[in-house]
Amino acid sequence: MTAGQRRPIEDRPFVWLAPLFLLLAVLYLYPLIDVTRLSLTDATDAATPAHYTFASYRSLLGSSEFLAMTRVALIFVAASIAGQLVFGLLIAALVCAGERRRLPGAALVRAIVLVGWVLPGVVIGIIWKLLLDESGAGIIAYAASLLGGRNPTFLSAPGPALFWVTMANIWRGTAFSMIMQYAGMKTVPPELYEAATVDGAGALQKFRHVTLPSLRGILLINLVLITIATLNTFDMVLPLTGGGPGRATEVVALYIYHLVFSEFQFGRGAAVAVVLMAIGLALSACYARMLRRERAA
Amino acid sequence: MNRRHTLFAVLAVVALMPAGIACADQYGSDSAPIHISWQMQPTQSPKSSVPTVKDYYQSHIEAWVKAHPDVMLDVTFNSTDINASMTRMQEQAATGRAPDVAMLDSFFLSRFYQFVQPLDRFYGPDQVDDFVAFARNGMRGPDGKLKALWVNTDVRVLYYRKDLVANPPKTWDELIAQAAELSKRGLTGYLYPGGRGEGAVMEHLPMFWAQGGELVDAAGKPVFGEGRNRAAMLNLLGFLKRTIDTGASPNRVVNYRFEADLYPEILQGKVAMFLGGNWMAKQLRELGDKSDWGVAPIPLMTQGDPVTAAGGWTYAVFTPDAKKQAIIVDLINSLVADPAAMAASTAALSNLPTRMSVAQGDSAYVKDPTVHGFLTLLRYARARPGAAIYPSISTELQVAMSEVITGQQSPEAALDQAWHKLAQ
Amino acid sequence: MAGSAAIYAGYIVVALIFLFPLLWVASLSLRPMAELFAFPPRLVPEHPTLAAYRDVLAGSPLARYLLNSVKLVSATVLCALAIAVPSAYALSCLRFRRPLLKPVVMLGMLAVQLISPLVIALPLYRWFSGLGLINSHTAVVLVYVALSAPFATWMLTGFLDTVPVALDEAARIDGCSRLQSLLRVLLPVMLPGLAATAILLAISTWGQFIVPFVLLTRSDLYPVSVGILDFQSSMDSVSTHLLAAAAILSALPAMLTFLVLQRFIVGALTAGAVKG
């Protein structure tokens, strides 16, 4: 090929990427632009004409429901992060320890934990709803009564409802955290542990001073992924509480859904969606940077 | 190894699907020249889980289709979330994509007045006059034209266990006193739907109306947060709070969105009194319940004439095609609207007829003493307001009620929140 | 030895926590109606019966929902892979004129994964409503593909990166066009990566909820993730056992696939985790 010749068409990456780009442009980018445009209107149902205005954003900031929903989302995300990271670590450590001693069953335990990841979110919501039946026939209610509880309250009061929704979310998400942590732990060079043993470190100290620092990158990545997944949660909460009691478990996505499909407030729903999208984009950028740093390390 | 495992997995999945997949969503043959799209409510269709209902609709629809070989019925079903179903249908109607005929819940009918076809040429004034007053008013749109046929209805009552309650309470105070006493003995004194569902609001509207409260004015504007109406609503919310605070009712009532959500707990045998609909008596028996239930009017704030709320389903026609309209009317008449059909269908549903000729008629069903008792309550029954804003009012009241029950808000704060939301 | 015992105890606790909810629901699904509300509750029913499963499969639309899910998932996986393979080839093997474009494209792929589908489902709903594309399986598949092709591209790019460049070069020196090289030489080598990606796509598409929930209103078109909600509030009777049976049935395909291909999936996930 001489310097002046144009590259043959098959060498140009964008030819190969064209179908993907076309699909994304039509079915992803265009809707993203459209939702941003809708958020700048006061659109309601399809029949009413819409005008351009900042009113949707303004009314959001003033609405008490938006503030309540933000509070719920913050608690939900923070607790989910803590729970999933901690349990993921514990289980990954457990499985690794078992594998190191060549105890059979590690693969089985891993598989069982992954059940939470494989099940569709809707089914998980339904399963937990059935578990948390508050009448006498519910199994957890029965266990609570054996331990002395008189009036089991799981989903019928705001605090407990948010607690149990978070528990169900942790149950669901620990699997992925565990796999990430597990993969990370397997790549820690055994020499580090040997050196620690020589230095007289016990199991707990090895964990604190060898395992955790090595996993720092993965933990951070995990944190970002959990945040996003939890913020986007919709399918599990719908059958579990539907956002109730009242609005106590109305997470962001449910809030948007109610705004748009129950109250026909397309403009305001779009505004919240744009906020959600902005957060998703910001976290993606964080994730990408962390990945690059991790790969370089 | 992997390939064999994959094959096994695929076979296992396929084996889970039976040879004949149930999908009776089409009646009549594809080649029939006339296609009619019909959106049905599952609980009043061949898909109902109640055997008498399922048999009734299945056999009658099949017979009708056989007698009309030039028609194919393409049936789809509402989802179990009534609000979402009706809202979606509203959207479809607004974009011109409504089915030819649909079953609409009576409280949502007002949102469709502008979209449905008038049926006046099919039903003369004496036909319409045969319907009970609240049904007549609901079926007529603001322009006086007949918009739908309201083919069945129901009423709400207090059910009480005859072996646990000697004299059913007539007022709130009596109810709370008796229920709290029973709860102390380890039973559930008084159960009701208190969650986010239309059932919760509807069961309690009689208590509101009896005090003279109104949800909307004559023009359809919300007025429930003003003046005497506000006082009545605050009394109602205060009563609900008292049921929880005194232990008369457990706070899990906030999980019960519809009357049917009460069945599991009732079947466990520890419920002494509950607020429910007339159809529940027969259904409980069919579900295996052995208790002896008495029926009494809903307890009100002070003694007085009974008040109850009447619901039910309507049939509305969307297609402008005159020929299709005539066929659809024939179908509706033979299925649920003609006197004989209404008598048979309401008997199958254990609901109440909306034609007075049927209510005062000779069928064994209306002569049954329990049913007769429910029919006399129809005289004191009110339907929900036929204003387009009603579903939104109901949603806000559901939120208010559940927040008062869980203690998240005081009755005043909850009502103010609902009122400000809607007064915009 | 005490250490091993502690580890086994840990295994049992973990297994119980993750299995018990499923076992309870399975127990509910195997009960006759009379035992549904037995007090005190027991895990193993006294008279187990498959009646709920019979009722659900024969008398309810669940089988139809399962079939819809299979349809949607198969179509999506095939189309997504068809788009992702050439895209991954470009990202992995071709030189970009402006080298900074490649990380931007990869970031874009990532962003699609991390933004909630609800954000695009709303405008798509409005748009499709106007076009009459609501209640179209084709439209739903296209949206699924738009949502999953980027992830598939991401994963396949990672796999392709591990394939030695020499293979591709050798094929082209032999006279193959790039397309032929991709199809005849690289694809067979990529097979494990393709399979892993296909499985991950299938699992995530099976559980897709928001898109079909918003874009489908006819119940006969629902995939199982949406259809199962209808079992939750029965308006005219008690349906706990039916709901439980439906839940188990809708979870079964994903779980079976997972169990059979478990090692594969864990490998794919860990590879993905380490690669990012």
C43 and C75 housed in the same domain: no
Give percent of chain B above pLDDT 90.
69
Instruction: List chains adjacent to chain A, taking adjacency as at least 3 C-beta pairs closer than 8 Å.
Output: B, C
pLDDT the model gives residue A60: 83
Encode pLDDT of B83-127 as tens digits: 878 888 888 888 788 999 999 999 999 999 999 999 999 999 999
pLDDT the model gives residue A265: 82
Determine the residue among A156, A165, A260, A268 to mutate to test chain B binding: the one whose Cβ has the most chain B Cβ atoms within 10 Å.
Answer: A156
Q: Which of residues 342-371 of B touch C (CB under 8 A)?
A: none
C30 and C76 housed in the same domain: no
CB contact under 8 A, A35 and C120: yes
The DSSP element (H or E) to which B26 belongs, if any, is strand B26-27
| Residue B63 pLDDT class (50, 70, 90 cuts) | very high
In a domain, C57, yes or no: no
Encode pLDDT of C168-187 as tens digits: 888 888 877 878 788 888 88
Question: Is pLDDT above 70 for B6?
Answer: no
Question: Euclidean distance between the first and final Cα of chain A, in Å?
Answer: 38
Question: Is pLDDT above 80 for A209?
Answer: yes
- DSSP assignment letter at B379: G
| Residue B20 pLDDT class (50, 70, 90 cuts) | very low
Question: How is the beta sheet containing B156-161 ordered, strand by strand?
Answer: B188-191, B271-277, B156-161, B293-296
* CATH 3.40.190.10 domain position(s) in chain B: 25-153+311-383, 156-309+386-422
Which has more pLDDT, C39 or A174? A174
In a domain, C55, yes or no: no
Question: Is pLDDT above 90 for B387?
Answer: no
pLDDT the model gives residue C43: 84
Among A241, A276, A224, which Cα is nearest to A73's?
Answer: A276
Mean pLDDT, residues B395-417 taken together: 93
| Residue A118 pLDDT class (50, 70, 90 cuts) | confident
CB contact under 8 A, C237 and B287: yes
| Residue B17 pLDDT class (50, 70, 90 cuts) | very low
Question: Is pLDDT above 60 for A3?
Answer: no
C177 and C228 housed in the same domain: yes
SS3 letters for chain C?
A: CHHHHHHHHHHHHHHHHHHHHHHHHHHHHCCCHHHCCCCCCCCCCCCCCCHHHHHHHHHCCHHHHHHHHHHHHHHHHHHHHHHHHHHHHHHHHCCCCCCCHHHHHHHHHHHHHHCCHHHHHHHHHHHHHHHCCCCCHHHHHHHHHHHHHHHHHHHHHHHHHHCCHHHHHHHHHCCCCHHHHHHHHHHHHHHHHHHHHHHHHHHHHHCCCHHHHHHCCCHHHCCHHHHHHHHCCCCCCCCHHHHHHHHHHHHHHHHHHHHHCHHHHHHHHHHHHHHC
Encode pLDDT of A256-283 as tens digits: 988 888 777 888 889 999 998 898 888 8
Question: Residues of B with CB below 8 A from C253's CB?
Answer: 13, 16
C10 and C147 housed in the same domain: no
Determine the residue among C50, C73, C217 to mutate to test chain B binding: the one whose Cβ has the most chain B Cβ atoms within 10 Å.
Answer: C217
In a domain, C102, yes or no: yes
Could you tell me the residue ranges of all domains in chain A?
A: 50-296
Q: Which of residues 142-161 of C touch B (CB under 8 A)?
A: none
Tell me yes or no: is domain B156-309+386-422 CATH 3.40.190.10.
yes
Half-sphere exposure of C221 (CA within 13 A, CB side): 18
Which has more pLDDT, B251 or A151? B251
CB contact under 8 A, B406 and A245: yes
pLDDT the model gives residue A46: 64
Phi, psi dihedrals of residue B338, rounded to the nearest 5°: -65, 150
- A156/chain B closest Cα distance in angstroms: 5
Mean pLDDT, residues B200-223 taken together: 94
Mean pLDDT, residues B49-71 taken together: 92
| Residue C271 pLDDT class (50, 70, 90 cuts) | low
CB contact under 8 A, C40 and A142: yes
Q: How far apart, in whole angstroms, are the C-alpha atoms of residue A219 and residue A82?
A: 11
| Nearest CB to B43; choose among C64, C235, C238 | C235
Q: Give the tokens for residue C105.
A: 């494209």
Encode pLDDT of A144-203 as tens digits: 888 887 778 898 888 999 999 999 999 999 998 998 898 888 888 888 888 888 888 887
pLDDT the model gives residue B167: 94
Q: Which residues make Cβ contacts (< 8 Å) with residue C162, sequence separation at least 6?
A: none
Domain B25-153+311-383 -> CATH class: alpha beta
The DSSP element (H or E) to which B74 belongs, if any, is strand B71-77
CB contact under 8 A, C250 and A270: no
Question: Is pLDDT above 50 for A248?
Answer: yes
Long-range contacts of C6-14 (CB under 8 A, 24+ apart): C7/A94, C7/A97, C7/A98, C7/A101, C7/A103, C8/A103, C8/A105, C10/A94, C11/A94, C11/A98, C11/A105, C11/A106, C11/A109, C14/A91, C14/A94, C14/A109, C14/A112, C14/A113
Which structural domain range is residue C20 located in? 1-49
Q: Which CATH topology does A50-296 take?
A: MetI-like fold (1.10.3720)
CB contact under 8 A, A158 and B254: no
C228 and C101 housed in the same domain: yes
Half-sphere exposure of A270 (CA within 13 A, CB side): 30
C215 and C262 housed in the same domain: yes
User: Is the ipTM value over 0.85, yes or no?
Assistant: yes
C19 and C71 housed in the same domain: no
Encode pLDDT of B162-183 as tens digits: 999 999 999 999 999 999 999 9
Which has more pLDDT, A130 or A290? A130
Q: Which of residues 47-86 of A touch C (CB under 8 A)?
A: none
**Most confident among A34-38, A58-62, B145-149, C174-178 (mean pLDDT):** B145-149
Give percent of chain B above pLDDT 70.
94
| Residue A47 pLDDT class (50, 70, 90 cuts) | low
In a domain, C104, yes or no: yes
- DSSP assignment letter at B50: S
3-state helix, strand, coil in chain B (%, to 5): 50, 15, 35
pLDDT the model gives residue B92: 82
C44 and C85 housed in the same domain: no
pLDDT the model gives residue A5: 57
pLDDT the model gives residue C72: 96
pLDDT the model gives residue B134: 92
- Mean pLDDT of all residues belonging to chain B: 89
Question: Residues of C with CB below 8 A from B287's CB?
Answer: 33, 237-238
Q: Which residues make Cβ contacts (< 8 Å) with residue A197, sequence separation at least 6?
A: A206
CATH number at C213 reads 1.10.3720.10
Question: Residues of A with CB below 8 A from B402's CB?
Answer: 244-246
The answer to whether the beta carbons of residues A41 and A53 sit under 8 Å apart is: yes
Question: Is pLDDT above 50 for B47?
Answer: yes
